[in-house]
Structure 1
Amino acid sequence: MGQEDQTRLERAQAIGLFRYMLIREAADPTLSRRQRGALVRELAAIPHTDPDGRSVRITRWTLDRWIHDWRVGGFDALVPSPRQSRPRTPPEVMELAASLKKENPSRSAAQIRRIIGAKLGWAPDERTIQRMIVREGLTALQAPLAPAVFGRFEADGPNELWTGHALHGPMVQGRKTYLFAFLDDHSRAVMGHRWGFAEDTVRLAAALRPAMAARGVPRYIYVDNGSAFVDSWLLRACAKLGVKLVHSTPGRPQGRGKIERFFRTVNSEFVVEIASGDGEPGRRIDSLLEMNRLFTAWTENVYHRRVHSETGAAPLARWMGDRPLAVPSPSDLAEAFRWSEHRTVSKTALVSPHGNRYQVDPQLVGQRVELVFDPFDLSFLRVRLQGQDMGTALPFQVSRHSHPKARPETPGEEPRTTTGIDYLGLIDTAHTAGLADKVNYAALGEPAPPAVDLTDPSGE
């Protein structure tokens, strides 16, 4: 298979993710038939942006079929055959339609279809032409919309909605730090966090995966359009765990107000206590391990125990509530957070991702297979063909042991002693002393003695 086949396969995966994100809410098994029907009608009544950037409308029949396919076969059932995902309208015909619109902007899609039909003897559907006009920015200018009015919103219960965002932090070991954090919308409790030296997918996963293992799986995750939040691995992880990933509209950050407020608290109470350079007041941080440990101590012993000004309750106490947690099994969590890539098996039954070579089943020669792996351990790869497990890829020649994007944090310099009052150190001491009373979130459904959960959601 050549580059064209690879493009088709990647397009098929993108279409599957588009379909999943569209029907996930309506496919909720807790909905009644009346509620599901209302949601499907709403989805069918509005346009949606497909993987090609086109504005499309999906019929109720199609949405019902996708919901049925997802219930029967999961996410893989939503991925079309690579041959079916190929665009049906020749690009030269669409170029002709665009030229006709540019030649005379007053021409409608119906008129352009008539002209093409007279010229070629056939023409694409009128809606196909209209989507192209919108995609190429050839529509007539419209009056600006009135400013949107935003009301206050709060999720009905814990783990209904998590909001994720990244904060640019202070310098540690001479390098800029970044904080990934996820906030429960109902309680304002911190579900997961991770300080790192990069604003990438690896550091994001280091915050989200332990959060789901300790706090459970949310129904929705609301994030912005940063590169880490639109990476395909995050879409895959959410699809595998049944989470609906929602991205904010570019230029409208209003929905992230709660986590932005939390970040202001982090800056004013935590970051302010960190020394920014030689001779500066505050504690000097000499490693990311120490940074994450101190932040966990501050989160669990200060932020989570203090009454929130809007909810009137301590974040952790409000989050615990009475609802059972949907904690994924370790195997499901590990599968969801693996990465995957596609490669064509050579004539010698080898695949070669990132300079490494692996032996696979000879029956797969010439096939385009999916390789599923841990980005930090390329010694073990699972092989799949059209969603079916085909065994393990045996290492044949391995020179790279981790994915190029999986950059580990580098060790820092030797610690320096400091003088004065160490506020963060005092919190850390209190946190360490209270670890003996920690509680397992996964066991909250059973009777347990009163305790404060000090589990470290960052995985440190």
Structure 2
Amino acid sequence: MLSLAATLKIEAPHRTAAQVRRIMVTTLGDAPSESTLLRHFRTLDIPTGTPAAATGRFEAAYPNEIWVGDALHGPKIGGKKTYLFAFMDDHSRLITAARWAYAEDAVRLAAALRPALQTHGIPSSCYVDNGAAYVDSALKRTCAKLGIRLIHSRPYRPQGRGKIERFFGSVRSQFLSEITILTAPVQLVAPGTGGEAGEDQAGTAIGSLAELNALFSSWLHISYHHTVHTSTGQSPLARWEAGWSNRSPERRSAEAINEAFRWSVTRRVSKTATVSLQSNTYQVDPQLAGAHVELIYDPFDLTASVSVFTSDGAPAGNATAQHISRHVHPKAAAARADTDNGAKNVASGIDYLRMVEEHHTTQITGAPISFDKATTTDEATDARGAEAA
């Protein structure tokens, strides 16, 4: 058994003793303790590494008081870099939003955040860094419309970000260490897996962004959310659920959330009562000629209704499409390219993430569904909201 543990550690050096034990329990049903594994690794002179120290000691008093958002640089798939957008509930350590994408921009950030707000409710505050996606006007508008206080950390002072950085450490050691990116005809190795390009690697072989997101979702709901956190003494899911014992999440309608994610731009109305938006021409009320107006629009559908507001915020009807040469905003069009058709690959040896995915799929497709056994928080949160009503 210790020989298998050493093999698992050597073939993927970024695996922690806890991760090695987790794989052995999943595969064999039992495993030595973490301290025993660490002593064995040190006896064999296998590097064990030192976990990064967390920064800051602040903790939110209840769920949805503060969500902390950040992005993690991931492996390349098909020659394109991937990025993980994630938001963590500061009180419970539950990951409320998580999505891998091919770019680190506001469109991909919104794709991760929007379903999280619909599922988990509206946080009081969002604490983010000063990356381009987080200072974009689109995020500012979303937060303002939903009554979320947007807070940016001071440059080079990451206080309060230690929890999500620790989560990213878990992503590296427990998830990325278990995958191998395959791109025919050569094999590329994801960060943390070790080895050289072209060698056979342990773990789960994937070849598309869709696979990466599917496996990550399974790992998140089956493993991370059910693992007891050393700082809280509870799993993120248990702490999240306990935090709602005497209260309910603040929610907004789907229409209000969709409205909050529309984009805004200011334009000057021409003498002929038209405005230009992304090479398209729209007709507005003739009385607005010469005035500055705010246009609210859907970047994924420039042919849809465009709302018009005066400079003092008064509604001024809708703009009517007069000449359309572009149907989708360029940034939105680029985001649509995230949908790929990469073929699934088959890996040899112990495939921990595929076992996790199979477990996740079995739980969410089994009948009947039990809220006690379900690993996603969506249904449980909605059920509690209905009971409170």
> TM-score interval w.r.t. the shorter chain?
0.7 to 0.9
Aligned-residue sequence identity (percent) comes to 52
Equivalent in the alignment of 2:343: 415
Task: Identify if the C-alpha distance between structure 1 residues 384 and 154 changes in structure 2 by more than 3 Å, giving closer, same or farther.
Answer: same
Aligned to 1:339: 263
For residue 176 of structure 1, the aligned residue among 81, 99, 120 is 81
SS, match of residue 134 in structure 2: coil
Measured in 2, the distance between the counterparts of 1:417 and 1:395 equals: 46
Residue from 278, 281, 290 that aligns with 1:366 = 290
Name the CA distance, whole Å, in 2 between partners of 1:447 and 1:370. Answer: 41
User: In 2 relative to 1, CA 413–446 (structure 1 residues): closer, same or farther, beyond 3 Å?
Assistant: closer
Write the distance in 2 (CA, Å) between the matches of 1:418 and 1:210: 31
Which letter does structure 2 place at the counterpart of 1:443? A
* 2:381 equivalent among 441, 446, 450: 441
Q: Is the 8 A contact 1:308 1:314 kept in 2?
A: yes
Partner of 2:235: 314
| 1:173 to 1:299, Cα distance in 2 relative to 1, 3 A | same
Q: CA deviation at 1:280?
A: 3.3
Secondary structure in structure 2 of the residue aligned to 1:391: strand
TM-score, scaled to structure 1: 0.62
Asked whether the 8 Å contact 2:65–2:124 carries over to 1, the reply is yes
1:389 Cα deviation (Å)? 2.0
Asked which structure has the greater CA Rg, the reply is 1
| CA distances 1:296-334 after superposition (whole Å, capped 9, x unpaired) | 111111000111111111101111221211121112111
Which residue of 401, 424, 428 corresponds with 2:357?
428
After superposition, give the CA deviation of every residue in 1:240-291 in whole Å (9 maximum; x if it has no partner). Answer: 1111111111111132100000000000111111114154333232222221
Pick the aligned partner of 1:270 from 175, 178, 182. 175
Distance 1:319 1:410, change over 3 A: closer
Q: Which amino acid aligns with 2:307?
A: R
Per the alignment, do residues 352 and 263 of structure 1 end up closer, same or farther by CA in structure 2, a change over 3 Å counting?
A: same
CA distance in 2, matches of 1:327, 1:288: 31
Partner of 2:218: 297
Q: Which amino acid aligns with 2:105?
A: D
* 1:348 matched to 2:269: no
SS at match of 1:417: coil
Residues 440 and 335 (structure 1), Cα distance of their counterparts in 2 relative to 1, 3 Å cut = farther
1:387 to 313, 316, 320: 313
* Residues 349, 359 of structure 1: 8 Å contact kept: yes
Kindly indicate whether structure 1 or structure 2 has the higher relative contact order, using CA contacts under 8 Å at least 6 residues apart. 2
What is the CA distance between 1:218 and its match in structure 2? 0.9
Contact 1:300 1:431 in 2 (8 A): yes
SS of structure 2 residue aligned to 1:228: helix
Letter in 1 for 2:77: V
Q: Aligned partners of 2:169, 2:82: CA distance in 1, in Å?
A: 16
Instruction: Give a deviation string over 1:142-168, Cα, whole Å, max 9, x none.
Output: xxxxxxxx8621111111111000000
The 8 Å contact of residues 360 and 393 in structure 1, kept in 2 or not, is answered as yes
Separation in 2 of the partners of 1:170 and 1:370?
A: 40
Amino acid at match of 1:444: R
- 3-state DSSP of counterpart to 1:372: strand
State whether residues 220 and 244 of structure 1, in contact with CA within 8 Å, keep that contact through their aligned partners in structure 2. Answer: yes
Measured after TM superposition, the shift of residue 350 of structure 1 is 1.5
Distance in structure 2 (CA, Å) of the matches to 1:413 and 1:289? 8
Paired with 1:178 and 1:242, the residues of 2 have a C-alpha distance of 27
Does 1:231 pair with 2:231?
A: no
Contact 1:286-1:412 within 8 A present in 2 as well: no
Residue matched to 2:192: none
CA 1:261–1:410: 2 relative to 1, 3 Å: closer
1:399 aligned onto 2:328:
no
Give the number of aligned pairs: 299
- Equivalent position of 2:248 in the other structure: 324
Partner of residue 205 from structure 2, selected from 284, 298, 317: 284
2 CA distance for matches of 1:195 and 1:435? 21
TM-score (norm 2): 0.73
Is residue 256 of structure 1 aligned with residue 161 of structure 2? yes
Structure-2 residue corresponding to 1:186: 91
**Structure 2 CA distance for aligned equivalents of residues 236 and 200 of structure 1:** 15
AA aligned to 1:445 is G
Task: Quote the Cα distance in structure 1 between the aligned partners of 2:387 and 2:339.
Answer: 43
Paired residues of 1:325 and 1:442 also in contact (CA < 8 A): no
The code of the aligned residue for 2:251 comes to: V
Q: Which one of the candidate residues 207, 221, 233 is aligned to 2:112?
A: 207
CA distance in 1, matches of 2:380, 2:325: 40
CA distance in 1, matches of 2:107, 2:71: 13
Return the letter of the residue paired with 1:441. Answer: T
> Residue deviations 1:67-115, cap 9 Å, x none?
xxxxxxxxxxxxxxxxxxxxxxxxxxxxxxxxxxxxxxxxxxxxxxxxx
Aligned amino acid, residue 231 of structure 2: E
1:416–1:319 CA distance, 2 compared to 1 (3 A): closer
Decide whether the 8 Å contact of 1:180 with 1:204 is kept in 2.
yes
Task: Report the residue type matching 2:250 in the other structure.
Answer: A
Task: Give CA deviations for 1:331-381 in whole Å, capped at 9, x if unaligned.
Answer: 211111111001112222221111111122222222211110111111121
Further displaced range: 402-411 or 316-325: 402-411
The structure carrying a bigger strand percent of its residues is 2
Unpaired segments of 5 or more residues in structure 2? 1-54, 182-187, 189-197
- The answer to whether the Cα contact below 8 Å between 2:56 and 2:160 also exists between their aligned partners in 1 is no
Q: Distance in 2 between matches of 1:227 and 1:417?
A: 34
